[in-house]
Amino acid sequence: MQAIILVAGKGTRMGELVKEIPKPMLKINNKPILEYKLNALPEEITEVIFVIGYLGDVIKNYFGDFYNGRKIKYVVQERIEGSGAALHLAKNILKDRFLVMMGDDLYHKDDLKNIINHDLAVLAYEVDNPTQFGVIEKDTKNYLINIIEKPKESENKLVNIGVYMLNKIFFNYDLCYADNGETNLPLTIAKMSNYHIIKVEKANHWFPIGYPGDLEKAEKIIYKFV
């Protein structure tokens, strides 16, 4: 099985920290964020595809073509046009089912193991500040109904955390666009849910890394993810 990790963005909220190092390669306890993610992948994942862009050579030079028993491939996103477009760049090398992950958050191996058991699924987590994320609407069977990006208010605390189990059916759908004009993967997946059953799998652990202070916080909880 393949995993594709989207790591092309600039991570501008990290300021000077990403002047020479891409955000996914910033270190927590002397190890890059991206290395924790690879180590959390289920054993069923035998090949990893990185969609690289900003300072992508740093990632390529670190992981090479083979890392920790897995083949590594690279696709370059020269123009940052959003997560949907990033995934489409790998269309020709992706096989039927694949795991999709964002490149700069911490995920737990047990949660990743659970989501790959589904044909189509999104990983979700309950937070105290749902308006900062994409809020997930689901039915009583835990099937996806919609993903609402950063609503002004929400009593629903279940949010999208950027991990998806997809298949090639995804590429049959036109990409949706966010308000910033970039292609948006979650909105496209939400559109798919009108025609396909997409399971909402609830995660037990998640740590988003958006700002410099999050790196220091991550050092205190990283033991939960190794």
Q: Domain limits of the chain?
A: 2-225
Average confidence (pLDDT) over 10-36: 95
pLDDT per position as a tens digit, 125-176: 999 999 999 999 999 999 999 999 999 999 999 999 999 999 999 999 999 9
Residue 180 reports pLDDT greater than 90: no
Q: Which residues contact 17 (CB under 8 A, 6 or more apart)?
A: 23, 26, 212, 215
Q: What are phi and psi of 160, to 5 degrees?
A: -75, 135
Neighbours of 208 (CB within 10 A): 18
Q: How confident is the model at residue 80 (pLDDT cuts 50, 70, 90)?
A: confident
Task: Note the Cα 67 to chain centre separation in Å.
Answer: 19
Cα(92)–Cα(74) distance, rounded to whole angstroms?
13
CA dihedral 180, 84, 43, 26 (to 10 degrees): -30
Per-residue pLDDT averaged across 39-53, rounded?
Answer: 98
State mean pLDDT over 20-32: 96
Please compute the mean of the pLDDT values over residues 195-213 and round it to a whole number.
97
CATH topology for 2-225? Spore Coat Polysaccharide Biosynthesis Protein SpsA; Chain A (3.90.550)
In this structure, are residues 115 and 125 in contact, taking their beta carbons and an 8 Å threshold?
no
Segment 81-89 mean pLDDT = 95
Query: What mean pLDDT is predicted for residues 28-52?
Result: 97
98 within 8 A of 51, measured Cβ to Cβ: no
What letter would DSSP give residue 154? -
Average pLDDT on 80-89 reads 94
Question: CB-based contacts of 61: which residues, under 8 Å, 6+ apart?
Answer: none
Q: Binning pLDDT at 50, 70 and 90, where does residue 45 land?
A: very high
Q: What is the mean pLDDT of residues 184-208?
A: 97
Residue pair 204/138 in contact by the 8 Å Cβ criterion = no
Banded pLDDT at 226 (limits 50, 70, 90)? confident
pLDDT, tens digit, 9 for 90 and up, residues 61-79? 999 999 999 999 999 999 8
Please give the mean pLDDT across all residues of the chain.
96
Cβ-based neighbours of 217, under 8 Å, separated by 6 or more: 207
